[in-house]
Structures are given as C-alpha cells and as structure tokens.
Amino acid sequence: MDNSGIFDLTAPATARWKKEAISANNTSFNLANHRRIRQMVSTQDASRFLNSTITQGDETQKVSKIEELKEVSTQLGILRKRHDKNRANNEIYDNTLEKLKKELEQIQKMETRTGLKLDTMKEEAKEMEEQLYDIKKKQEDAEMTRKAYEHIIERMKMTKINLEKRNLGLNKSIRRGQQTLNEELDKQRRTREAKIQTKEALKNLEIYTNREKTEIQERLEIIEKDVKQKQETSRKRDERFHRQLEIAEAAANEDRNMRALQMREGLLCHRVWFIYLQKKLKCEMDRSSSIEEAFQQVRSVTGLNDAQEMVERYLTREQTYGDLMETINESKQKILDYIEKNNEMLEKINSLEMTKLEGNNPAKKLSEEAAKQFTDIEIEKDKLRRIRSVYENIKIWSGKNLKKLGKEPLSFDSKLIDCVFLMKNTVSQTLKMIKENNQTITNSKVVYSRQLSDLLPEKNAARIRLFSGDYNNTDGDEVRLMQSLAQYNETPDIIGRSQKSALANKP
C-alpha cells in the first residue's frame, strides 16, 4: 500500500498533513491547521469542524513522529473531555426535563382544583416549552460533536496501524545491520586474541620448564627426609598401641561391674515407685470418677468436647441478652413512630376527602401508603413477639440452672440480669471450695514425698522427686479441667460432688 494513499485517508481527520511532500523517514505538520483545530474545538460547532478538516491549507512544517503523536493524543483528550462534558450536560438536561414535566402535571392538577392563575400557568408552560426546545438543540449539537469525535478516532487508528508497520520494517533492517557489524567485530577480536595468546604461551613454557627442574631436585630431598621420619613414627605407634590395649581391658572390666550394680539399684527403685504410683492412680481414679461422669454428661448434652468452649458459651449468654434487649427497645420505638405516622396520614386522608373534585381521587394513593405502613407495623409486631418468646425461654433456662445449683429461682417479674449475676456468684463460691480442696491435696503430696525421700537411699531421692513433680503437673491439669467444667454451669452433679469432697477434706 502507498504512503500517499494512507495520508489521503487520514488527512480529513487530523487536518495537519500535507498530501504531496511525504518521504519514508519524516512527516509534515501544518501549524496553521493546528490553530484552526483549536478554534473549532472552542466553538463547539460540528459542521464547521468537518468543513474545515476537508479544506486544508498548504502551509506546513516538518515535525518528528513523537511530537506528532503527542499532538494527536492531546487533541483527542480535549475532544474526549468536551464529549464527556456534553454528555454530562445532556444528563442534567434530561433530569431537568423530567422534573419540569412533573411540575407541569402538578400545576395542571392545581389549576383544575382551584381554577385560578390560568394566565400565569400558560406563560410558565410556554417558557418550559422554549427551554425544552433549547435543550433539544443542545442535545443535537452534542450528538454531532460525538459523531465527529468517533470519526476522528477511526481515522487515527488507521494511521496508527500504518505507522506501526513502517516502524517494524525499519527496526528489522536496523537489527540486521547491527548483527552483521557485531559479527565482524567479533572476528577481528578473536584473531587478535589468538596471536597474543600464542606469544604468551611460548613465554610461559620457557618459564615452566626452568621451574620444573628446580622443583624436582627439591622434592627428591624432601622425600628422603619423609622416609626416615615415617620409620620412626611407625615404631612409636606400635608401642603406644600395645599400651592402650592393656589400659582398655582394665577399664572395660571395671565398667562392667559398675553397670551391673547401677542396673540392680535402678530396678529396685523403679519397682518401689511403680507400686506407689499404681496405688495412687487407683485412688485418684476412684476420686475423680464423679468428675469424669459429669464431663461425659455435659458433652452428651451440649455436643462439645472442649471445656474452654463450654465456658465461653456460658459467659457470652449475658451479652446476647443485652443485644436482645436493645433490639426490643428499637422495635418498640419504631412501632410508636409508625403509629404517629399513621395518625398523621389518616388526618391527611380525611382532609383530602373533604376537598376532592370529580374525576380526581388523590386519597387512593394515601390509602395505599397507609396500607403499606400497616403491613410494616404487623411485621414489626411479629418480630417483637419472637423476641419476647426468646427472652422468656432464657428466663426459664436461668431458673432451671438456679434450681440445679441449689438456689431458689427468682420471681417471674424479676430481671434476667439478676438471675445471671446470682448464677455467677454461686459458681464462683464453688470454685473457691474446689481450689481449697486442691491445695490440701497438694500439701499432702509434698509431705508424702518427703517421707519417702527419708526412707529410701540418698541416690534415689532425686529420681523420686522428679517423678513426683511430673505427677503433680498432671494433677494440676485435672484440676484445671474440673474448674472449667464447673464454670460451664450445665452439670449440677459436678458442682455438688466437688462441694462434698471439699467439705470432707477440710481439716
């Protein structure tokens, strides 16, 4: 495709290139047409813009491709902004038209009701029609500018594609020339390097031969010295090896005797400690069987395996109660607001029924709105009933838990917060008793371990203390689990049994 044909297609769109003087490497730019484009964009007259793009001048100036593309992008940006402004103005005009139509309808209704101010209304209607006519004209102008903008974009896309094709061809030719140049330079460099390397290799060979002669003589002298030293070291090594064998045999015999004695002592200590721990484990299993049964009951009722999760469920119920109370108060306030609105709407309906005319019935709309509000009120009432039912269920649940804890439930009229605080106080009291019980158990363990350390030999006292310390840690874990189950407040058997054990173990 010819370059002249490309620029003939793009000339009406850009209004800047000259048709005759075009070469393969540069393009021409018309400054007079550039000024004319700015004037046409400022006037916002699409017909004048199209006529001026067809009739171009011959005054041109050579400009580079980069500047040309920048100018095209700036002009397109200006046109785009103007197009967006016109579009926004059209939307504003459409909105004003809709508002004016609504106002006209309201004015006509008022005119039919009252029969006054007809002349003024007609004048306003004429003004509105004139405004509407002006808005339509502006819309047509905006549509023309939009079409011109789209036409320019299409033509500029074509020119951009052709310029990119030309640019690719030039880049390919430049790359080929660069490759050939690099290959020639590499060949010259390799030949020079080969000559220099051969010269250096000859010099290095001469130096290397002289060094090897001197090094061979030095190595022969060193080898003779090494042979003498190795003979002496081998003789000394044999003597040292015989001595080490004798020492190792004596040490092995002593080590066997010591290990046998240590194994016997350790076995006896472990037997004694195993019997003690077995008896202690049986006692603890019998004592904590009630706690295990209670934990299994809680897990079967709630479906939870973690004691911490049980406690969290119980503690967060007070917060849920507060949220429910807030929603109830909000729904009550909404119902009161809706009742006030309904009364106002009923008064408006009555006043409109008194003043309505033939053929017009504005009270229907108000009655429909009132019906909608009545349905909303019914929905809010249903929500309030559900919330009340949930509130009553929570109160019943708190009363049952108070009975299980051994406290008399409060009256039905009392607040839920009082019930929750009462439950919290009872649980804290039981936990204090459990802690006292655990303290007595730990004291008895310490005394028992001291007695054992006095009875057994001094060598095994450290081992007994170590094993007793491990058992105390496991016992602490069992105590923590029992406390977490007691805090959950769903298992009265755990709390009752823990209270009995605490009272029995008190001095």
Which residues are CB-neighbours of 59 under 8 A, at least 6 positions away?
30, 31, 32
Confirm whether 198 is domain-assigned.
no
Last residue of a domain, one of 186, 213, 239: 186
Residue 126 φ then ψ, to 5°:
-60, -40
Confirm whether 235 is domain-assigned.
no
Q: How confident is the model at residue 138 (pLDDT cuts 50, 70, 90)?
A: confident
Span 398-429, pLDDT tens digits: 777 777 767 776 665 666 667 777 777 777 77
- Average pLDDT (231-256) is 79
Last residue of a domain, one of 186, 211, 243: 186
> Which one, of 478, 406, 396, lies nearest residue 437 by Cα?
478
Confirm whether 20 is domain-assigned.
yes
Which residues are CB-neighbours of 1 under 8 A, at least 6 positions away?
162
The whole-number pLDDT of residue 498 equals 41
* Together in a domain, 175 and 296: no
pTM over 0.75: no
Whether the CA torsion 42, 43, 49, 53 is positive or negative: it is negative
Q: Give the structural domain span for 363.
A: 288-505
Confirm whether 261 is domain-assigned.
no
* Together in a domain, 168 and 41: yes
- Count each helix (H run) and each strand (E run) in the chain, helices first: 12, 2
Distance (Å, rounded) from C-alpha 253 to C-alpha 250? 5
> Which one, of 472, 465, 468, 462, lies nearest residue 265 by Cα?
462
Confirm whether 413 is domain-assigned.
yes
- Average pLDDT (130-144) is 87
Distance from first CA to last CA of the chain, Å, rounded? 113
- On the question of pLDDT at 151 being above 80, the answer is yes
Confirm whether 446 is domain-assigned.
yes
**Per mean pLDDT, which range of 89-93, 321-325, 430-434, 497-501 is the poorest?**
497-501
Of 404 and 187, the one with more pLDDT: 187
Confirm whether 18 is domain-assigned.
yes
- Range with top average pLDDT, 173-187, 327-341, 441-455, 472-486: 173-187
Torsion of Cα atoms, 366 then 368 then 372 then 373, to 10°: 20
**Per mean pLDDT, which range of 217-231, 243-257, 268-282, 440-454 is the poorest?**
440-454
- On the question of pLDDT at 484 being above 80, the answer is no
* Together in a domain, 177 and 295: no
| Residue carrying structure tokens 């550039």 | 34
Span 70-121, pLDDT tens digits: 888 888 888 888 888 888 888 898 888 888 888 888 877 776 776 666 777 7
Of 263 and 499, the one with more pLDDT: 263
* Together in a domain, 365 and 499: yes
Last residue of a domain, one of 137, 169, 186: 186
Query: How much of the chain is helix, strand and coil, in % rounded to 5?
Result: 85, 0, 10
| C-alpha separations of 186 from 180, 190, 191, 198, 199 in Å | 10, 6, 9, 19, 20
> Which one, of 273, 275, 277, lies nearest residue 265 by Cα?
273
Structure tokens at 221: 């002298």
- Total structural domains in the chain? 2
Tell me the DSSP string of 441-466: HHHHHHHHHHHHHHHS-STTHHHHHH
Confirm whether 222 is domain-assigned.
no
